Amino acid sequence: MSSIESVLQENRIFNPSPEFVAQANVSGMDAYKALCAEAEADYEGYWGRLARENIVWKQPFTTVLDESKAPFYQWFPDGKLNISWNCLDKNVEAGLGDKTAIIFEADKGEVTKVTYRELLSRVAKFANALKGLGVKKGDRVIIYLPMSIEGVVAMQACARIGAIHSVVFGGFSAAALRDRIEDAGAVLIITADEQCRGGKNIPLKPAVDEALTLGGCGSVRNVVVYQRSGGPANMVAGRDLWWHDLVAGQSETCEPEWVDAEHPLFLLYTSGSTGKPKGVQHSTGGYLLLAILTMKWTFDIKPTDVFWCTADIGWVTGHTYGTYGPLACGGTEIVFEGVPTYPDAGRFWKMIQTHKASVFYTAPTAIRALIKLGEGHPEHHPEKYDLSSLRLLGTVGEPINPEAWMWYHEKVGGGRCPIVDTWWQTETGAHMITPLPGATPTVPGSCTLPFPGIMAAIVDETGHELEWGKGGFLVIKRPWPSMIRTIWGDPERYRKNYYPEELGGKLYLAGDGSVRDPKTGYFTIMGRIDDVLNVSGHRLGTMEIESALVSNPLVAEAAVVGKPHDIKGEAIVAYVVLKRARPVGEEAKQLANDLRNHVAHEIGPIAKPDEIRFGDNLPKTRSGKIMRRLLRTLARGEEITSDVSTLENPAILDQLKEVVK
């Protein structure tokens, strides 16, 4: 509840400055309202107009939205296009060939710049190499690469030939990688020998080798390895190929595969409340449209901008605002290999200064961490750097607390840059609720109003819209072009998860709780309503972590909950029952450590529990249901005041208060 109260008490309002409004792509509240009104009046007409104006189609569409198979919606179904053509060739043909497309800064600071012409040639060569390996339209390709120009090239090359990419974040373990390879039925994996982060070289290729020995990966024919550091790559003859060998001698032109607008562009695995991560399937045309529109309207992108989204390509933010959006708009973007704290906590600010970044987009967790580090080390404080190139700031991934918002506004934005707090999800493809910086007055902690054409609302458990001021489920009432199309291989799960019968089957259920300000209608996100945690902006299912824990032979049962954390937003607390007696003292410490490493091995270091507590049992009702509510109260260190007499084993609660340090 604290987040609602803090918003209701939050009365600081920041109006866009007249100078910003004057130059903005959407200038003033009336312009925002006019777009919303156009969408209200003629929904298909609105999206059709925008799709014609913003995308270059090989074959124009005649149908805007086909709802006949709802909730499997189709957008622009008879249109044909290629997204890589729209990101590269289009810009070269428009005279931007010599413009810098990507400024790449490596972990240790080396800078490489690539023009649109060079990027197109590199994408074409790599696309030809993929074709040479027999990769065809519709084949799935796993990309397990660090932040790099090659990462963008690999994604664009897949899109160029109509192959469906599925990027797996480099921080995921071999086991997590294997699950994704198997589910996607991938024919090819693109990886690197190592990734360089924070001054360290971290092996990547060995995780691929391990994943391929775990079974279920029979679909994989080849592994392409980009030589990043010269680290051990253990090339397997006949299966593994060096990137540099493959592209050598390839033609610099590659006719794009013209695909239907609905052709799947990518799968991206994300966590839900049940089972294994699900492969969120995105389309080509509708996805591209919202990538472009949000770049233009939310980020107010201009030809002179230097745009920097700090997200890794392993997440949806790195797809829409790293690989596709900025390039489709002919922008110059920064791609950063490293971490914000290396060589010191001034890295982001130094990079903004060096590259004259004008639009900067990052996660609240990074801001909170840098506040702490910056305030403790004045030499790394943003005020020590020249950040005058900045004109717009953004955040994404989790709620931003008003204190962090204010710091970002004052210390990074110099009080002059609007902040766009963008609410969206892997499934939505692009921003759904966000200020438009030249139109929307902002309030710290609120993502404000829906993007024009997005019909967001808050409903109760029966699907009835609630009056402003009442908290409920965040839904989107009408399909939108960049929405998830299905869960790969599991359409029924898609339908049940996102269009539940309980809400009438016609509302997209986001999985977040939200409330609208009673006066302004501004949205504030209260966090997930399901068993999904948001740890440092990373989305993790409690079930996934529980499954990882119980896959350890020592563990009989596990329950995972979140608790608020100053910097990470949420921390992971795991309650564990062993098959043997409850450990105490040194043994407990050792076992907790082993289990944390076990989770890192099963999922990745990002899923390591922050705290482990051992019990002889978990608090259960007489019918055997685990009382998670009580576990959450215990995790927060609060007293349980509710009646626990219905518990089968109330005494267990005292045991579970004990944290293994």
Residues that bind ligand PRX (CB under 6 A): 270, 316-317, 396-399, 421-426, 447, 510-512, 525, 528, 534, 539
Residue 538 CB, nearest approach to ligand PRX (Å): 7
Residue, CB closest to ligand PRX: 426
Burial of 359: CB neighbours in 10 Å, binned 0-12, 13-18, 19+: buried
Residue 316 CB, nearest approach to ligand PRX (Å): 5
Rounded to whole angstroms, the Cα distance separating 270 from 284 reads 19
Rounded to whole angstroms, the Cα distance separating 645 from 649 reads 9
Nearer to ligand PRX, 340 or 511 (CB): 511
CA distances from 468 to 397, 459, 472, 524 (A): 24, 10, 10, 11
Nearer to ligand PRX, 453 or 541 (CB): 541
Nearer to ligand PRX, 386 or 566 (CB): 566
**What residue has token string 């009835």?**
464
Nearer to ligand PRX, 128 or 534 (CB): 534
Exposure of 587 in the CB half-sphere (CA atoms within 13 A): 7
Residue 52 CB, nearest approach to ligand PRX (Å): 27
Residue 56 CB, nearest approach to ligand PRX (Å): 27
Nearer to ligand PRX, 47 or 361 (CB): 361
Residues in the chain, total: 661
Residue 656 CB, nearest approach to ligand PRX (Å): 27
Phi then psi for residue 194, to 5 deg, are -145, 165
Contact 592, 549 (CB under 8 A): no
Residue 141's nearest CA partner among 184, 109, 95, 96 is 184
Say if residue 77 is preceded by a cis peptide, omega within 30 of 0.
no
Residue 557's nearest CA partner among 576, 584, 531, 541 is 576
Q: Per the structure block, which two tokens stand in for 289?
A: 């449209």
Nearer to ligand PRX, 264 or 569 (CB): 569
Contact 103, 326 (CB under 8 A): no
Residue 290 CB, nearest approach to ligand PRX (Å): 12
Element (H, E) at 557: strand 555-565
DSSP character at residue 14: B
Residue 242 CB, nearest approach to ligand PRX (Å): 33
Residue 256 CB, nearest approach to ligand PRX (Å): 28
Nearer to ligand PRX, 195 or 270 (CB): 270
Nearer to ligand PRX, 483 or 612 (CB): 483
Nearer to ligand PRX, 301 or 525 (CB): 525
Residue 268 CB, nearest approach to ligand PRX (Å): 9
Nearer to ligand PRX, 126 or 424 (CB): 424
Contact 266, 283 (CB under 8 A): no
Rounded to whole angstroms, the Cα distance separating 282 from 481 reads 10
CA distances from 144 to 13, 37, 279, 331, 461 (A): 43, 43, 15, 25, 40
Residue 153's nearest CA partner among 104, 98, 96 is 104
Residue 426 CB, nearest approach to ligand PRX (Å): 3
Nearer to ligand PRX, 85 or 423 (CB): 423
The arrangement of strands across the sheet holding 164-167 comes to: 240-242, 222-226, 188-192, 140-144, 164-167, 266-270, 278-282, 486-487
Nearer to ligand PRX, 532 or 660 (CB): 532
Residue 396 CB, nearest approach to ligand PRX (Å): 5
- Rounded to 10 deg, the angle between the 43-54 and 285-297 helix axes is 80
Residue 46 CB, nearest approach to ligand PRX (Å): 24
